[in-house]
Structure 1
Amino acid sequence: MDHPIESAAPGPVTAEFRSGNGGSGKTLVGTAYRSLRRDIIEGRLAPGTKLRVEHLKDAYGVGAGTLREALALLVSDALVVAQDQRGFHVKPMSLADFHDITQTRILLECEALRQSMQNGDDVWESRLVAAFHRLDRAEKRLDGQQDDHFDEWEERNREFHQALISACTSAWVRHFLGILYQQAERYRRLAIMHKPIPRDVHREHQAILDAALAHDADTACKVLSEHIGMTYEAMKHLPAEMFSG
């Protein structure tokens, strides 16, 4: 659930580009990348939108070459689609796509959680408890002030899910979960902001935490699966035009 989950496995783009470090050119690319990514995630650049370099370079205050590099990073994130002779487009959203993301994430994250619980020690437990505490505080700030605090909540939610699987021994599983978490972000934002179905996300996170600390793998995976799946169920109740562009 963006990368969202650290991994020793090679990522689709370098951390240097993502952080904007390593020189003025890369700083400009990183800044443009983050601005474009935020506008895609938040819907200001709607799904399916054609991204015309000649127009966007002025809007984002960078040159055409810099903008193309930033768009190439977003292609590797699967947030932008590059089509021969047709340029760049924001990747479309659909229930079918999100169902695929959700089911694959459940499969991998439950396996990662089982591994993490088998290998987790006191350090892992303390990391998990601390992440839950920060998420709890962010959830309280999110209530009633969603626009102001969603980004903080999203970061704390990512940290909690990352802490859950941080003792997983498979770097590749963690790497692919990072990609899936990031892909789900556009959908998750809609579900959390519009609340199409009644849901107590805090209680869901508490149940995951309790089962994980009890080292009850079956229960932990059950409640984690239900938690991830609830976002898909929520999306099914939103008007299709809200996420189809």
Structure 2
Amino acid sequence: MTMARGPALKGGKTLMGSVYDRLRADIVDGELRPGARLRFEELKETYGVGLSPLREALTRLAAEKLVVLEQNRGFHVAPISRSDLDDLLFMRQETESLGIRRSIERGDDQWEAGVVAAIHALGKRESLTPEGHVDPEWERRHRVFHDSLVAACDSPRLLLYRELLTDHADRYRKLSHHYPSAGRDHLSEHVALADAVVARDAEEANRLIRKHLARTVEIIISDEDLRDSAFSD
């Protein structure tokens, strides 16, 4: 028996899949603020879809902990907090470290070449635009670089969970006014990581990725506006 998956759009994407992608992007990018109530009537008008695909998309986002469903209160964007950020850092450090270590053990010359190409591309782009905004292309290259470090880990489940953790971390980063310009030499940090990985130095790569992720959290926590307006504890 074949289950219906909702009306299809061009490219094979369902209506639910389309609104899910758009809602998810708006949450991760900070367009929908932490704790914001997600009212169906407003969402139907904003995203141009009906109740059923919206409910399916929100339920899926709730499973990913980006949305919260409270009894008698409906759906809300997941809040952010210091305790959640600390837990996120812990899990990212463990996951990234494991992914890099496994990739160093299993990666071939093609994997190494991917790391080298990704750091080269990242170094060709400034993190900020002339107007002082985060450059979207730099963001894309930054993600590609970090993905390249773990690309040979040979664990689809690890990569899937890591992607979800990265999206949660991106939400915090994009909500912070201090990212990515808070007195930080991004390129040097990334080059050091790439060098350690290509040299197959698992211990140094582990030290550097943990320090790199912790530094990002330190910068986010230093954002007084974010703490005052969005942190729930």
- TM-score of the superposition, structure 2-length normalised? 0.86
Once the 2 structures are TM-superposed, how far is the Cα of residue 235 of structure 1 from its aligned partner?
1.3
Determine which of 22, 28, 35 is the counterpart of 2:12.
Answer: 22
Once the 2 structures are TM-superposed, how far is the Cα of residue 123 of structure 1 from its aligned partner?
0.4
Deviations, residues 8-50 of structure 1 (Å, cap 9, x unaligned)? xxxxxxxxx9x98436xx1x32332222222222322211111
Once the 2 structures are TM-superposed, how far is the Cα of residue 148 of structure 1 from its aligned partner?
6.4
Is residue 2:48 matched to residue 1:58? Answer: no
CA 1:38–1:173 in structure 2 vs 1: closer, same or farther (change >3 Å)? closer
DSSP 3-state at the match of 2:76: strand
- Residue 78 of structure 1 corresponds to 65
DSSP 3-state at the match of 1:97: helix
Deviations, residues 38-89 of structure 1 (Å, cap 9, x unaligned)? 2222322211111010221012111111221221232232211112332100
- Equivalence map 1:199-210=2 (5 Å): 199-210=184-195
Over 4 Å off, 4+ runs: 191-196
- Residue 127 of structure 1 corresponds to 114
Determine which of 34, 38, 50 is the counterpart of 1:47.
Answer: 34
Question: Of the two, which has the highest radius of gyration?
Answer: 2
Is residue 2:199 matched to residue 1:214? Answer: yes
Once the 2 structures are TM-superposed, how far is the Cα of residue 216 of structure 1 from its aligned partner?
1.2
Aligned-pair identity in percent equals 38
The count of residues paired between Structure 1 and Structure 2 equals: 223
- Residue 149 of structure 1 corresponds to 135
**Residue ranges of structure 1 left out of the alignment (5+ in a row):** 1-16
d(CA) in 1 for partners of 2:177, 2:148? 21
Range that drifts further, 198-207 or 182-191: 182-191
RMSD across aligned positions (CA): 2.4
- Residue 167 of structure 1 corresponds to 152
DSSP 3-state at the match of 1:82: strand
d(CA) in 1 for partners of 2:37, 2:176? 25
Deviations, residues 168-217 of structure 1 (Å, cap 9, x unaligned)? 13332222211211111111223475457411111110100011111111
